Structure 1
């Protein structure tokens, strides 16, 4: 049930009634199972109880935001008067201090600010606007006689701000929105409600994008709360636990494959809360019902193939990684950095930073791309010179931060997500990496 879209007091009452009934049901279940074991019914009840408690907390947060919003707007006149009195007191004190000094014409006296012209910080306006967005549904259920419009004095204290100054451009769709309807990252780029939701949802299915980022910085989750649906907020918290767990266990049932939180793992057995299937945490297959875990032939076959092909496993999440070109510094989609040669964590070994064969392979790929795009005709000597130039460029920029980009026209494929772009693509000026518009912001770590 979506409690955020109903009257908070009604939602709170519904949740409290359900929690009370749930407590009675849990009490009747006690003593019916074996000691030390949690049966499926008890597990389901505990999970439902946790969800209800989270809903209750969300309703409480909504009530608090609505209370702050009402208090600020109802007490606007008092706030303005109090602020003006405090500013006047500061001005009088500084003026008296300057007049009592030895030099009555101290130039610092003329630098005293005119506090009568002090306005409230415009950031407060943006904060209040976002409170209104967050509490839109709540205001719809309030008594129309109980709400109070913005006072004229409060509006005057805010000043006349040009509406164009409050508009911000979304970095993805490039449309302009009011500042209360966008989330701004620490890099200064803004995301509208739709693009922000898409950024979060995409990160749930692609771990390399989690947490949602823009220009190496995580998109602030707290500042995004008011713009995201409750199911996205809930799934973000779930994915934060999942992606933050090393050596994860997923339900072995092909029709489920849900992540099993560590709290539901005991004695090497993970019990799925969705389908109640038991999974072995060692081989990730069906539970062996008390016997030791045998060597999984499928896993052994995969490891043998990895050795044959030269693949490596991440030291944290154990995913297989294949290095096609570039240096030996690997950043797994889980965020772990390790050496491709020895598999140890990055900068804990003495292995070389790159293999010459892979550098030449990448340099040749870039030159081949230039030949096709620019329709070049190169003889053997010219080609060798271009390949050597690109090889040196790769060595110089092997840890490129992709600070500057050029736009290359024509049909290209993004080198990260492999999407085909029919009209243009962005190319890094330093390392020649080609990325789509979305990946050049969100995939950088």
Structure 2
């Protein structure tokens, strides 16, 4: 008979995934019944004042193990039941949430009409109610196989359970496919369920929350290949699909024509200034405030329309600091390093000196000082910053060679990436302490998100 100290360690996490809960609970109950029968058979066979034998102590410890295991399995069964219920009812709960929001918006519309106002445009939530697929259950996830009852029972029947058998040693069969498989989102790097991700043809994965977070990632693309919005829209549930459609319309509108609610606590996107007559205030469907589409200030008479004071101050600062304005979206751009070839977040390419579309002017491509700074940074990315101090002559030779290369070819059309240690991304300026990607050709350093989705 094995002593209690010789029992192998009890591995709860392993056993919970090696068999389905019902079968595992049954195993624990049968094993506990066997222990109770053995313990009953031992009663009355020894003196009352005699210490318990190793056999009796082992039975007691094994029984305590089984009690702990059964408690753990019961808790796991309850948690899995709650999780399954939430997963099943998620779409229904989202649909009811949309219905409640649409009802509140209908009430506001009724108040506007009762006060003699014009009928406002339907909100995205109200339009979503017209979608016939809103209350249709989505098809089950593909690629997830359910465990076979027959295969689970096979192996369990072949095991012999004795009081000395550790529970984690019982051979059982598990699911043929890991239904709990998780994968890292390419954008946020969070681990999410594999079947809840959008999978691209280049074998990258995106979670639901990453579609509406960053305008610089619009239009959707991966590895310079576009992702159709319809593909992403069908992947989202009803609530997120409504939000995604709003952001799709917002990011698809040229920045210089976007109109937002004047109320800072609201700031809802109201559409394009080109979609309404000039000097006609736009009513916000959420807070009922009025915003002038021309000056982006509170609604007013046409004769009172003037340029926003904050915009005037920003333009004055840009002139003083010699910043440039993008000819595409009119965003103000500052050149910190590199050549005069600018690529705005709206994907407009222009000359930083004269703001003319790229390759349509006779301006110089480089400032000599900025060229040397860019060459030094590329060399440090390639060989490390320590070379500047340890071998200054070698470092300067590499800088001059890199500067001559940049004069001819300052950027890659298609980057070729490899991994390196952490640092600051040159594209988004975010610091990542684990690793970055460096281009084999131009030595540009970028994070994974920029390498896949921005460059």
Q: What's the TM-score, normalizing by structure 2?
A: 0.59
Match of 2:450 in 1: 439
Match of 2:262 in 1: 252
Does the 8 Å CA contact 1:171/1:189 hold for their aligned counterparts?
no
Equivalent position to 2:203, from 156, 167, 189: 189
Q: Distance in 2 between matches of 1:431 and 1:341?
A: 24
How far did residue 214 of structure 1 move? 1.0
Q: Once the 2 structures are TM-superposed, how far is the Cα of residue 386 of structure 1 from its aligned partner?
A: 1.6
Q: Which runs of 5+ in 2 are unaligned?
A: 1-88, 145-175
> Equivalent residue for 1:5?
91
Report the counterpart of residue 320 of structure 2 in structure 1: 308
Q: Secondary structure at the match of 2:419?
A: strand
* Match runs of 1:95-134 below 5 Å: 131-133=139-141
Distance in 1, matches of 2:277 and 2:439, equals: 48
Instruction: Tell me how far apart the structure 2 counterparts of residues 202 and 336 of structure 1 sit (CA, whole Å).
Output: 21
Is residue 237 of structure 1 aligned with residue 248 of structure 2? no
Deviation at 1:380, TM superposition (A): 5.5
Contact residue 170 and residue 189 of structure 1 kept, 8 A: no
1:201 is matched with which residue?
A: 212
Show the counterpart of 1:113. none
2-structure distance, mates of 1:27, 1:252: 21
- What aligned pairs does 1:327-342 form with structure 2 within 5 A after superposition? 327-342=339-354
Q: Deviations over 1:142-165 (max 9, x none)?
A: xxxxxxxxxxxxxxxxxxxx979x
Match of 1:364 in 2: 376
Distance 2:297 2:322 in 1: 25
Alignment CA distance shift 1:281-1:27 (3 Å): closer
Q: CA deviation at 1:343?
A: 1.3
Alignment pair present for 1:385 and 2:393? no
Question: Shift in Å at residue 289 of structure 1?
Answer: 2.8
Instruction: Pick closer, same or farther for the CA change 1:348–1:361 going to 2, 3 Å.
Output: same
Contact residue 414 and residue 434 of structure 1 kept, 8 A: yes
Larger Rg: 2
Q: Are 1:258 and 1:272, in contact at CA under 8 Å, matched by a contact in 2?
A: yes
Structure-1 separation of matches of 2:127 and 2:296: 31
- Tell me if structure 1 keeps the 8 A contact 2:91–2:238: no
CA RMSD across the alignment:
4.1
Q: How do 1:40-439 and structure 2 match up within 5 A?
A: 42-43=119-120, 46-48=121-123, 51-57=125-131, 59-60=132-133, 63=136, 131-133=139-141, 172=186, 182-186=197-201, 188-191=202-205, 195-203=206-214, 207-246=215-254, 247=256, 248-262=258-272, 265-268=276-279, 269-368=281-380, 373-377=385-389, 381-409=393-421, 411-439=422-450
Q: Residue 412 of structure 2 contacts residue 441 of structure 2 at CA under 8 Å; is this kept in 1?
A: yes
Instruction: Using the TM superposition, give the Cα deviation of residue 369 of structure 1 relative to its aligned residue in structure 2, in angstroms.
Output: 5.2
Contact kept in structure 2, 1:280 and 1:288, CA below 8 Å: yes
Say if 1:240 and 1:294 are closer, same or farther in 2 by CA, change over 3 A.
same
Q: Is the 8 A contact 2:128 2:242 kept in 1?
A: no
Q: Gaps spanning 5+ residues in structure 1: where? A: 67-129, 137-161
- 1:231 and 1:360 map into 2 onto residues whose CA distance is 51
User: d(CA) in 1 for partners of 2:106 and 2:304?
Assistant: 38
Cα drift, residue 385 of structure 1: 1.5
Q: Specify whether residues 280 and 225 from structure 1 end up closer, same or farther in structure 2 by C-alpha distance, changes over 3 A only.
A: closer
Deviation digits for residues 16-44 of structure 1, max 9, x if unmatched? x979x969x869948x63xxx63xxx32x
Does the 8 A contact of 2:266 with 2:287 survive in 1? yes
Note if contact 1:169-1:190 (Cα within 8 Å) is conserved in structure 2.
Answer: no
**How many pairs were matched up?**
324
